[in-house]
Chain A
Amino acid sequence: MKSLKKMGLFMIFAALMVFAAACGGASTDKTKGTDKTTTPKTEEKKELSGSLSVSGSSAMQPLVAAAAEEFMNANPKVDVQVNAGGSGTGLSQVAEGSVQIGNSDVFAEEKEGIPADQLVDHKVAVVGMTAAVNPKVGIKDIKKADLIKVFTGKITNWKELGGKDQKIVLVNRPDSSGTRAVFNKFALDGATPAEGITEDSSNTVKKIINETDGAIGYLAFSYFTDNTVTPLAIDGVEPTADNVQSGEFPVWAYQHSYTKGEADGLAKAFLDYLMTDDIQNTLLNEQGYLPVTKMKVERDAKGNQTNK
């Protein structure tokens, strides 16, 4: 009896070891498997198979995951894994080759420590964003100069701008956030915002703006689905898809998918799929992004805007 018990214990340990080994092995197997399967598939394009791992920007995750699902439906032998971990993580991982596609909401050139020359940029979508205020503030339009004053702390009460007598409460994003970088650059003309509550998730930011009197923050257009927060027009330009596409509304950013070197195999097929009209005109719309194909202006990594 005693030895049986001991055997049992031993077996449990052995099972644990095997389990752990299997778990450890699986991830390495997967990446190896992908390398093998994706490269030869470039020649025969008819049936795609293999697996593709995508990582990066959490803002892009829902879009890419939805696209991946449709892509897998169309190509049943393909397995696409989409992880979110932040733009920095995505760029780092694609640069070191641990994923095939790294999503980022900023240009790779803007991030330190990334070999941007080795990465190839695929702009898959556009996101417009604007300042959002608590509805009780009573302001719908703001001049850019005033917006800068609000965010740098030079204006501290909404009544100075014709709103209610409420103290201004700033809701920021973390220093390294892509959303913050875009907003600072194009809405605040590079001014450094004053300190305020800092939250990472757009949903939390929206919740705080909605609950706090006098709060102002910034959100992507896709979060203005109800009237819990009021999006602000900047210099009289309404924050709409049309105005972003025509280049009139300045605060927008590309959603990038980076590959290391030119995309090939499955990665190329998937990126091509993201650019099809089907995805650009319907899925992007559903998810609150703007199609990159309809942009009438384009922008380089330094932020210079030119007409297409």
Chain B
Amino acid sequence: MEKLTPAKDRLLKSKNNWMDGELRGKVLVLLCAVIMISATISITIFLGTKGLQSFIKNGVSLLEFLTSTHWNPTNQAKPEYGALPFIFGSFAVTFLAALIAAPLGIGGAIFMTEIAPSWGRKILQPIIELLVGIPSVVYGFIGLTVLVPFIREHVGGLGFSLLSGMIVLSIMILPTIATIATDAISSLPNSLREGSYALGATRWQTIRKVLIPAALPSLLTAIVLGMARAFGEALAVQMVIGNVRNLPSSILDASATLTTIITLNMGHTTYGSVENNTLWSMGLILLVMSFAFILLIRYLSSRRKM
């Protein structure tokens, strides 16, 4: 123990420190905030100007870009810039992946929080964390070596398909959904459970009629966040989806997404060319979509407060 100094001195001294530390801390966190905000804003502005160039400078029609199904930018005589198949592909794999991952993730979360809080959590939690840590290229490589041949032999088609893409993606977004859903359910006040049990409800009735409705906004947020991740994923999807420019007519058809077309073509195109600019436009669409996802999350979480 230090020797005690008189209270007066100590207060005086601490006031000096307080002024010092307060100012330093304030500047420090302000700096962090400014850097984060300016990074986001500058990326948005950059992507906005780059992405709009193909419409303004190169005269690609926005309507064609969004609605045409013909993509042939290298045809010199008659280049076509219809990105609809890729936009459709992106949405298709995203929703299909969410369709698999959402029930699995939420189911796992309920198991961890309600059914087997002690050992369930002990086993599942590390497994889910492990899933987060696997790099996307590894998911893609496993998909290419295991999933694609499996689907080719046992389901049909070429193996490179929407189906492969959605399975790989659903495993990738599973941890996101499961983690947030677990937090959402375990943060529900215990009085809800106790009240329900006191009314004579069984455990399943409590889960289905009380806990899930109460946590629903957060659960939806979890799903949307997972979908946002799926929407932006490029590498793993590129390796298994086949990257075909046509609109897929079935789940076993090969397809392409916005991200896979960007990663496939970015290196080959020269800065400032129409091809390159249309890739930026696709990037802009991705950004707009992620804004939409964020707005959706905001809307969902504002409902929770009511």
Decide whether A and B assemble into one complex: yes
Which one of B43-51, B182-190, B273-281 is at the interface? B273-281
Residue of A85, A174, A198, A211 touching B149 (CB-CB under 8 A): A211
Q: Is the CB of A112 within 8 A of B268?
A: no
Please give, as numbers and ranges, the residues of chain B lying within 8 Å of A13 by CB-CB distance. 28
Nearest chain-B residue to A9 (Cβ)? B28
Please give, as numbers and ranges, the residues of chain B lying within 8 Å of A89 by CB-CB distance. 266-267, 270
Please give, as numbers and ranges, the residues of chain A lying within 8 Å of B272 by CB-CB distance. 92, 113
Check: B65 CB closer than 8 A to any chain A CB: no
Check: B107 CB closer than 8 A to any chain A CB: no
* A212 to B160 CA separation, bound complex (whole angstroms): 10
With A176-B268, A176-B275 as contacts: A195 and B149 at CB distance below 8 Å: no
Check: A297 CB closer than 8 A to any chain B CB: no
Residue of B21, B75, B243, B273 touching A198 (CB-CB under 8 A): B243
Check: B269 CB closer than 8 A to any chain A CB: yes
Q: Is the CB of A86 within 8 A of B273?
A: no
Q: How far is the CB of B46 from chain A (nearest CB, A)?
A: 17
Among A2, A13, A112, A197, max chain B CB count under 10 A is at A112
Q: Is the CB of A91 within 8 A of B239?
A: no
Check: B246 CB closer than 8 A to any chain A CB: yes
Check: A282 CB closer than 8 A to any chain B CB: no
Please give, as numbers and ranges, the residues of chain B lying within 8 Å of A6 by CB-CB distance. 21, 24-25
* A208 to B25 CA separation, bound complex (whole angstroms): 57
Q: Is the CB of A85 within 8 A of B270?
A: no
Check: A178 CB closer than 8 A to any chain B CB: yes
- Interface size class for chain B? 35 or more
Check: A177 CB closer than 8 A to any chain B CB: yes
Check: B144 CB closer than 8 A to any chain A CB: yes
Q: Is the CB of A86 within 8 A of B246?
A: no
With A195-B246, A204-B144 as contacts: A175 and B28 at CB distance below 8 Å: no
* A111 to B74 CA separation, bound complex (whole angstroms): 10
* A204 to B148 CA separation, bound complex (whole angstroms): 13
Q: Is the CB of B265 within 8 A of A91?
A: no
Q: Is the CB of A175 within 8 A of B160?
A: no
Check: B175 CB closer than 8 A to any chain A CB: no
With A174-B268, A177-B268 as contacts: A197 and B160 at CB distance below 8 Å: yes
Please give, as numbers and ranges, the residues of chain A lying within 8 Å of B270 by CB-CB distance. 88-89, 91-92, 95, 111-114
Please give, as numbers and ranges, the residues of chain A lying within 8 Å of B152 by CB-CB distance. 211-212
Total A-B Cβ pairs within 8 A: 97
Check: B119 CB closer than 8 A to any chain A CB: no
* A110 to B72 CA separation, bound complex (whole angstroms): 16
Check: B264 CB closer than 8 A to any chain A CB: yes
With A204-B239, A212-B159 as contacts: A195 and B268 at CB distance below 8 Å: no
Nearest chain-A residue to B14 (Cβ)? A2
Q: Is the CB of A174 within 8 A of B264?
A: yes
Nearest chain-B residue to A214 (Cβ)? B158
Q: How far is the CB of A199 from chain B (nearest CB, A)?
A: 7
Check: A3 CB closer than 8 A to any chain B CB: yes
Check: B163 CB closer than 8 A to any chain A CB: no
Please give, as numbers and ranges, the residues of chain A lying within 8 Å of B74 by CB-CB distance. 175-176, 181
Residue of B242, B256, B267 touching A86 (CB-CB under 8 A): B267
Q: How far is the CB of B240 from chain A (nearest CB, A)?
A: 11
Q: How far is the CB of B243 from chain A (nearest CB, A)?
A: 4
Q: How far is the CB of A172 from chain B (nearest CB, A)?
A: 8
Nearest chain-B residue to A84 (Cβ)? B267
* A14 to B245 CA separation, bound complex (whole angstroms): 49
Please give, as numbers and ranges, the residues of chain B lying within 8 Å of A178 by CB-CB distance. 268
Q: Is the CB of A198 within 8 A of B256?
A: yes
Among B271, B272, B275, max chain A CB count under 10 A is at B271
* A91 to B71 CA separation, bound complex (whole angstroms): 24
Q: How far is the CB of A27 from chain B (nearest CB, A)?
A: 18
With A195-B246, A212-B159 as contacts: A113 and B268 at CB distance below 8 Å: no
With A113-B270, A211-B149 as contacts: A192 and B264 at CB distance below 8 Å: no
Give the B-binding residues of A (Cβ under 8 A): 2-3, 6, 10, 13, 58, 85-89, 91-92, 95-96, 111-114, 169, 174-178, 181, 192, 195-200, 204, 207-208, 211-212
16 A–B contact pairs at CB < 8 A?
A6-B25, A10-B28, A13-B28, A86-B266, A89-B267, A111-B270, A113-B273, A175-B71, A175-B265, A176-B74, A195-B246, A197-B242, A197-B244, A198-B245, A198-B264, A208-B160
Q: A6-B21, A89-B267, A174-B268 are known contacts; what are 9 more A-B pairs with Cβ within 8 Å?
A: A86-B268, A88-B267, A88-B268, A96-B271, A113-B276, A174-B261, A174-B264, A175-B265, A198-B264
- 5 A-B pairs closest in CB distance: A86-B267, A176-B268, A198-B243, A113-B273, A112-B273
